[in-house]
Amino acid sequence: MTPEDIRKIAGLARLRLRDDEVAKIAAQFTGILGHLERLRAVPTDGVTPLDHPLPLTDVLRDDEPRAGLLQGEALAAAPDAKDGQFRVPRVMAE
Amino acid sequence: MTLPEHRLIVGMECHIQLRTATKCWCACAVTFGAEPNTNVCPTCLGLPGSLPVLSRGALDQAIRGGLGLGCTIAAFTKWDRKNYFYPDLAKGYQITQYDKPLATDGRVVIDGDAGPVTIRVQRAHLEEDTGKTTHQPDGTALIDYNRCGTPLLEVVTHPDIHSAADASAYLEELKRIMQYLGVSDCDMEKAQLRCEPNVNVEVKMGEEWVPTRIVELKNLNSFAAVRNAIEYETARQVTDLLAGGPRGPRPKQTRGWDDAKRETFVQREKEEAADYRYFPEPDLPPVTIAARRADEIRADKVTKFPEMPRARRERYVAKLGLSPADALVLSSTRPLGDWYEEVAKSAGDAKLAANWTMTYVLRDGFEKFPLAPNAFGGFLKAVAKGDIPREAAKSVVLPEMLATGRGWAEIVKEKGLAATSAASLDAVIASVLAANAEIVAKYREGKLGVIGVLVGAVMKETRGTADAKTVKEMLERALGPPAG
Amino acid sequence: MSDDEGREDRGRNGHGPGRRTGAGLAGGESGSAPEFHELSARAIAAGVRSRTIAAADVAAHFLARIEKFNPSLNAFLHVNPRLTLAHARGVDAKVAAGHDPGPLAGVPVALKDNLCLRHMPATCASKILAGWMPPYDADAVARLVTAGAVPLGKTNLDEFAMGSSTENSAFGPTKNPWDPRLVPGGSSGGSAAAVAAGLATLAFGSDTGGSIRQPASLCGVHGMMGTYGRVSRRGLIAFGSSLDRIGPLARNVGDVALALEVMSGGDAGDATTVHRFGAEWAPELAGGRCTALDQDVRGLRVGVLRAADGVDAEVRGRCDDAVAAIRAAGATTVDVDLPAAEHAVAVYYLVAPSEASSNLARYDGVRFGYRSPLDDGRTQGSAPTASLDAMLAETRERGFGAEVKRRILLGTFALSAGYSEAFYEKALCVRRLIANDFARAFETCDVIVSPTSPFPAFAIGAKADDPLAMYLCDLFTIPASLAGLPATSSPVGATSSGLPVGLQIVAPALREDLVFRVAGELERTYGAAPLPEAYR
């Protein structure tokens, strides 16, 4: 893993990293990925991936409304709020 | 400026807000226009520790929508997380469907200039809506999560649309289908229907067909906007290519539509290497009952899966003898079609029912029309049978019925409007001819136009209860052939 | 509060000083009545229900112990004595009014700080959630409170439950009660230490790859996770959703069984509980009397996991002794092998971080928790010149600790375009192979035992700079996590230097009763977990 790779992934994850962190993580990733890459040697042709331990299907809820939070409760933990809404800084033009 | 030979290619991606009582994954009510952040809970706010549970209502509506598009409903379908950051996306991922969508391979048939056009539907899947961000003059943005988690049906077509008119015809048909099914009101002003056409053009340059870059159009708030934006894009893309602009179809560009300036503008130059890191949503088990549920929905005797608007239009033309234009109007919504059909049934004359419905009922909308469809139909039946003279029916009886709610028979009797019988008409004609010897003489001299005066006189005598056409024929017979 | 004040407080509650212990409730040493912190949860509940002891007295006793010991131990991140006493008095009032106070009446419990309980913060030991007060209760916590449990406070953990030592806490490491220079294990290190030191009768943790069992082992207590989905996850702050489980820790296995039963049950708000396919708590476990615990192990086939490299010799010795004891009690033993399990750590460190990278995307400084002030000198918070992207990136940069960032990056990488097939999806396939290995092994045995941790508690800081070494702590615990199977760690003695050793017992899905049969036998051999000298 190069520092550029780490930066790209960090960008996807919206994690800003300092330069020294990038170098450190790149080094650690080399070790960790070395271990993880051993998986490649395991034959898995025809194996169905197991993404969940429970063989559950078809869990549905009735379409009946229930009261949720009051506006004040919803906003109670907001770092910034105005007029009953959550406030965020300027959304940069994409 | 005349554009060189070119082919427009449009694929449509639409989001339809499903009509349900609760949100997709939580029991918060779905509302429009509520105070901000008053229909929220830990789940739709994405609070730590919260979990989603799929609503039966959302699933059923999505299945219904898929069936309406003629899709195959999947025997196995599941949800995935689409990871991206935006503040109105509470969890930092959208729960959507990636590789196992609920519905696939449908079709929507529209009427193009040169006959029916089939738009293939690639897929339709159930996903959640985001909250609403409102940008403030000071540069900050306010976020309301009331909408966050509302169920959406995303409908993606193949690039089968080749004109701006067809694009809006597709949307109109899509809206009709969803309305027929009660799946959504598709009110664009309430953002219940949002569409993002992917537009590009192949331009003939010499022997070669050269594609322009695909543009995804956003901010389209009406069918007219869709049509205008696609027309604008067609010209812009062709002109741009001819002026040496880059060939396409990739990289894709995102442009917004400015309705005031009637032009598109760049929103995102290059589709950034969007990496959504899809993976199966571990909090939601897959669904294996959708296909079976689809069969139940089709067969349900109570909710009754409706005839689709196109089938209804075709039936109106083929079985009821209506013109395609009338059929389109009368089947434009399911309740109107139902209403009209009840009128037609009790009238016993579908075309008469269509004409009268179009003329007298749709002026203010059938919902506001005070008569029940069978009352209106019964009245039309009497008109058709000649029990009420047409002129009187239009000018006296119907207005009186609408104003007072009384039955036509009562009105006809009270006003003495019963159609004049042939026998008494003979007597009236005889007396009119006797009283208008001069005019009779002119007629016999060959001035055939004067018969109108005689018809008028008869109509006056019968106070409009006679049928003008019949009167004219009887007069002609009585007068005999003119001289010369 | 001092011990004296505590006694006075109890006096005011109408119970004489003579009632400050649970005399006669749990056959203590002859002549010395056991103190509240020496009693089992069942003994406390029985005393409270029969009005021989007052829940408020018990609560005050534990609050006093927390005040005394927690500053050095750092097991608790938050206590709220008023809330605790209010809960306790509520239980007493229920008893006084003749209502059923529930099977955990007056039992003081500690909750890992990733479980939501109203009126107490839930921080996940992360700066990004510092001070966050959840507006709802976790389903499991609500069940505990309904059953009469009295919440003492919230315990320390590795940030977002990511770690095996509780060193990755934004609020400082927890110490091992057996030796304050050592880690208590993790990530539920605060809960394990609290129970081990007698600062709570029951504690609750979460286990994603070993986070209950490994600290239980390192602290010498019982720690269990039921089958995936036994307990609703609603209100457990997610780490790896397909792996996360809530479970109890206690110094005796009967309390573990009772607590797990109380917490289990379907929840309309969690689509992934076993009750969805009609699995109810096994009847032989129901009603707070776990009969499986009293059954012997005669005829039980105990699979002994093939020896792995790198296991501490003394740990191996204690575990071999335990297996011998089980065999002596009438069980047969059979060697089992889980070939794919050698890849379990690799599978886990792809699957869990992948899910975590998504689960932790919501920490964006918008709706709750920490928002970084922007440090470009001009802008603060939502000032118009600030940008959302900068706020987001800085909030996450400053709010998350190093290990959390590492795992978010690892998971983001494993799911990213071009890599997800080789990493994430490959891991899911090997996960299937591991589950298949268990299924095959359970054809020849009823339970599988192994060391819980390859080594006893290690020094604080010893593995702090070597993430891979830290990940390998979970070698034995991860396979059952990946397969969704119930598993416990039971104390089986100590090393020559007095450090506890735990034996892991894994059973097939929904067969917690088999775990309890073996754990019950071990408890008959080893007795209830002792308190370290300093905390008696």
Selecting from C391, C397, C432 the residue whose C-beta is nearest the C-beta of A47 gives: C432
pLDDT of res. C29:
45
CA pair distance C291, A57, nearest whole angstrom: 33
What is the β-pairing status of strands C108-112 and C150-155? parallel
**Chain B contact set for A11 (CB, 8 A):** none
Q: Which residues of C are catalytic?
A: 112, 187, 211
pLDDT of res. C6:
36
**Token pair of B393, please?**
């029916």
Taken in order C468, C473, C479, C484, is the CA torsion positive or negative?
negative
Flag if B142 and A85 touch (Cβ within 8 Å): yes
C391-443 pLDDT per residue, tens? 999 999 999 999 999 999 999 999 999 999 999 999 999 999 999 999 999 99
Selecting from A60, A64, A74 the residue whose C-beta is nearest the C-beta of B37 gives: A74
pLDDT of res. B335:
94
pLDDT of residue C379 exceeding 60: no
pLDDT bin (cut points 50, 70, 90) of residue C14 is very low
Flag if B143 and C136 touch (Cβ within 8 Å): no
Q: Which of residues 404-443 of C touch A (CB under 8 A)?
A: 405-406, 408-410, 412-413, 416, 422-423, 425-433, 435
Flag if B92 and C361 touch (Cβ within 8 Å): yes
Partner B contacted by C420 (CB < 8 A) = yes
pLDDT of residue C378 exceeding 70: no
pLDDT of res. C240:
98
Measured in residues, chain A has a length of: 94
pLDDT bin (cut points 50, 70, 90) of residue C386 is low
**Chain A contact set for B275 (CB, 8 A):** 12
Partner B contacted by C357 (CB < 8 A) = yes
Task: Select the residue from A60, A66, A83 to test the B interface by mutation, using most B Cβ atoms within 10 A.
Answer: A60
**Chain B contact set for A68 (CB, 8 A):** 26-28, 39-42, 44
pLDDT of res. C286:
63
C142–chain A nearest CA distance, Å:
17
Flag if B36 and A84 touch (Cβ within 8 Å): yes
Nearest CA in chain C to B48: C237
Partner B contacted by A91 (CB < 8 A) = yes
B127–chain C nearest CA distance, Å:
17
Whole-number Cα distances in Å, C168 to A5, B74, C73, C203, C470: 25, 45, 15, 20, 11
A75: Cα within 13 Å, side-chain hemisphere: 19
Selecting from A6, A28, A54 the residue whose C-beta is nearest the C-beta of C229 gives: A54
pLDDT bin (cut points 50, 70, 90) of residue C20 is very low
pLDDT of residue C110 exceeding 60: yes
pLDDT bin (cut points 50, 70, 90) of residue C176 is very high
pLDDT of res. B274:
79
pLDDT of res. B379:
94
CA pair distance B466, B469, nearest whole angstrom: 9
Coil, strand, or helix at residue C60? helix
With the CA atoms of C64, C70, C75 and C78 taken in that order, what torsion angle do they form, in degrees rounded to the nearest 10?
Answer: 70
> Measuring CA to CA, which residue among C58, C337, C335, C326 is closest to residue C198?
C58
Give me the interface pTM, i.e. the ipTM. 0.93
pLDDT of res. C92:
98
Flag if A60 and B54 touch (Cβ within 8 Å): yes
Chains that touch B (3 or more CB pairs under 8 A): A, C
A53: Cα within 13 Å, side-chain hemisphere: 30
Flag if A36 and C412 touch (Cβ within 8 Å): no
Q: Which of residues 82-111 of B touch A (CB under 8 A)?
A: 85, 87
Q: In the predicted model, what is the mean pLDDT of chain C?
A: 91
Flag if C415 and B91 touch (Cβ within 8 Å): no
Flag if B280 and A51 touch (Cβ within 8 Å): yes
> Measuring CA to CA, which residue among C120, C140, C141 is closest to residue C132?
C120
CA pair distance C349, C410, nearest whole angstrom: 8
B242-256 pLDDT per residue, tens? 999 999 898 999 999
Tell me the DSSP string of C314-334. Answer: HHHHHHHHHHHHHHHTT-EEE
CA pair distance B146, B132, nearest whole angstrom: 8
Sole residue written with tokens 């193009």:
B112
**Chain A contact set for B38 (CB, 8 A):** 70-71, 74, 84
Flag if C276 and B53 touch (Cβ within 8 Å): no
Is residue C488 a contact partner of residue C504, using CB atoms and an 8 Å limit? yes
pLDDT of res. B248:
83
**Chain A contact set for C431 (CB, 8 A):** 49-50
CA pair distance C65, C531, nearest whole angstrom: 13
**Chain B contact set for C420 (CB, 8 A):** 277, 279
pLDDT of residue C15 exceeding 60: no
**Token pair of C35, please?**
């103190």
pLDDT of residue C135 exceeding 80: yes
B409: Cα within 13 Å, side-chain hemisphere: 4
Nearest CA in chain A to B132: A85
Is residue C294 a contact partner of residue C520, using CB atoms and an 8 Å limit? yes
C162–chain B nearest CA distance, Å:
16
**Chain A contact set for C272 (CB, 8 A):** 52, 54, 56, 59
pLDDT bin (cut points 50, 70, 90) of residue C104 is very high
With the CA atoms of B353, B354, B356 and B361 taken in that order, what torsion angle do they form, in degrees rounded to the nearest 10?
Answer: 110
CB atoms within 10 A of CB B453: 15
The model's pTM is 0.91
Partner C contacted by A66 (CB < 8 A) = no
Sole residue written with tokens 């080594």:
C455
Partner C contacted by A70 (CB < 8 A) = no
CB pairs under 8 A between A and B: 122
pLDDT bin (cut points 50, 70, 90) of residue C27 is very low
B263-276 pLDDT per residue, tens? 999 998 876 557 99
pLDDT of res. B419:
63
pLDDT of res. B110:
96
Partner B contacted by C134 (CB < 8 A) = yes
Selecting from C277, C389, C416 the residue whose C-beta is nearest the C-beta of A56 gives: C277
Selecting from C347, C413, C429 the residue whose C-beta is nearest the C-beta of A9 gives: C413
Give first-to-last CA distance, chain B, whole Å.
62
CA pair distance B152, B157, nearest whole angstrom: 16
User: What are the start-end ranges of the H helices in B273-333?
Assistant: 290-299, 309-318, 324-330
pLDDT bin (cut points 50, 70, 90) of residue C18 is very low
**Chain A contact set for B28 (CB, 8 A):** 65-66, 68
**Chain C contact set for A6 (CB, 8 A):** 409
Phi and psi of A58, rounded to 5°?
60, 50
> Measuring CA to CA, which residue among B204, B200, B233, B235 is closest to residue B214?
B200
> Measuring CA to CA, which residue among B10, B4, B2, B3 is closest to residue B249?
B10
C295-332 pLDDT per residue, tens? 899 999 999 998 778 899 999 999 999 999 999 999 99
C450-502 pLDDT per residue, tens? 999 999 999 999 998 888 888 888 999 999 999 999 999 999 999 999 999 99
Low-confidence stretches of chain A (pLDDT beneath 70): 91-94
Contacts 24+ apart (CB under 8 A), C387-392: C387/A89, C387/A90, C387/A91, C387/A92, C388/A88, C388/A89, C388/A90, C388/A91, C388/A92, C388/B87, C388/B141, C389/A14, C389/A92, C390/A89, C391/A88, C391/A89, C391/C365, C392/A14, C392/B85, C392/C364, C392/C365
Flag if B282 and A51 touch (Cβ within 8 Å): yes
**Token pair of B424, please?**
């008494």
Tell me the DSSP string of A14-80. Answer: T----HHHHHHHHHHHHHHHHHHGGGGGS--TTPPP---SS------B-------B-HHHHHTT-SS
Nearest CA in chain B to C137: B49
**Chain C contact set for A23 (CB, 8 A):** none
pLDDT bin (cut points 50, 70, 90) of residue C279 is confident
Task: Select the residue from A17, A24, A39 to test the C interface by mutation, using most C Cβ atoms within 10 A.
Answer: A39
Is residue B378 a contact partner of residue B397, using CB atoms and an 8 Å limit? no
Low-confidence stretches of chain B (pLDDT beneath 50): none
